[in-house]
Amino acid sequence: MAMVAVLNEQLVQVGRLLAGIVHEIRGPLAVIRGSAELMRLQLSADDPHMQWIEPILRNAQLLQVRLEHLMATVRSGPAKVEYLDLAPLAKEAADLFLKGTDPRGHQVTIEVDFAANLPQVRADAGRLIQVLLNLFGNAHEAITDARARGRIIMRAFHHRDPDREWVKIEVADDGPGIPEAHLGRVFEPFYTTKVHGSGYGLYLASEILREHGGRLTACNGAEGGACFTLWLPLDAEVTATKAG
């Protein structure tokens, strides 16, 4: 329980720091967006300068969404549920992760392969991003501990069981995989095979999926590497509060 308290306190500190950064960005962003809106009102639809206004507004709105998602990754309390298109959310998570890695070091790519016409799911965007960032981080570490280059493949597709429908997101890597002796315990709290690992990340990720009425599973791929699967039901209510 002491470890839980330490981790929660660290999360609170990160949340406070992130909230301050987001606050500092929101002010200038509001000025940029407001000025662009005023310029659009003053220009006619066929004005050649309009070609510059629309990209400013689109990207200002995109940045606002990303700021909200970043805040949601450390937000406590009830889940903020909405209908989500998973493809742009997953690409956003991949982009955020890759921007946080050192391009001068190991080269690990993330490929996104989502089925067309994927159904929307009811979920908390920030918490799903939190899960994906955790899985990317684990995969990146597994790969780079073994060699200098590798790849992470993220796939999503619609899956029907006899009594339920799901959207499944697979995060697979070409690292060494998970030793069979540890495969059944990776979601246990505080269980880790890493020297400096807390054993809390995958546990928290699995709890977030449970809150969404789904589950997180792990296996080794037929050609090697680990594969984690997010099971998101299409008929579930998200009612629980954030784990931890």
Point out the domain boundary residue: 21, 53, 72: 72
pLDDT of residue 148: 83
- Let me know if residue 164 belongs to a domain: yes
Please indicate, yes or no, if residue 77 is contained in any of the structural domains. no
Summary mean pLDDT of the chain: 82
Q: Are residues 145 and 62 in the same domain?
A: no
Residue 44 has pLDDT above 60, yes or no: yes
Residues 94 and 208 grouped into a single domain: yes
> By mean pLDDT, which of 70-84, 178-192, 226-240 is the weakest?
70-84
End-to-end CA distance of the chain: 10
Is pLDDT above 90 for 181?
A: no
Residues 195 and 103 in one domain: yes
Residue 142 inside a domain? The answer is: yes
- Domain membership flag for residue 8: yes
Query: Do 96 and 135 form a contact (C-beta atoms < 8 A)?
Result: no
100 versus 115: which is more confidently predicted?
Answer: 115
DSSP string for 115-176 = -TTPPPEEE-HHHHHHHHHHHHHHHHHHHHHH-SEEEEEEEEEEEE-SS-EEEEEEEEE-S-
In the chain, the number of structural domains is 2
pLDDT category of residue 1 using cuts at 50, 70 and 90: very low
Residue 61 and residue 90 in one domain = no
Give domain status of residue 225, yes or no: yes
Q: Mean pLDDT across the stretch 179-198?
A: 72
What integer is the mean pLDDT of 173-183? 89
55 plus 112 within the same structural domain: no
pLDDT band (50, 70, 90) for residue 182 = confident
Give domain status of residue 240, yes or no.
no
Give me the pLDDT at residue 241, please. Answer: 42
Domain termination residue (choose one: 37, 72, 107):
72
Tell me which of 72, 105, 122 is where a domain ends: 72
Distance set, CA 201 to CA 55, 109, 148 (Å): 37, 22, 24
In a domain, 241, yes or no: no
User: Does one domain contain both 130 and 202?
Assistant: yes
Tell me the residue range of the domain where 56 lies: 2-72
| 124-167 pLDDT tens trace | 888 898 899 889 989 999 999 888 889 999 999 999 998 899 99
Asked if 73 and 129 count as a contact pair (C-beta separation under 8 A), the reply is yes
Residue 193, pLDDT above cutoff 70: no
The answer to whether residue 108 sits within a structural domain is yes
Clarify whether residues 211 and 99 are in a common domain: yes
* Pair (57, 129) in one structural domain: no
Domain co-membership, 218 together with 156: yes
The residue whose two tokens read 């990317």 is: 136
**3-class DSSP assignment, residue 227:** strand
CATH number for the domain harbouring residue 208:
3.30.565.10
58: nearest Cα among 33, 83, 41: 33
Give SS3 for 82.
strand
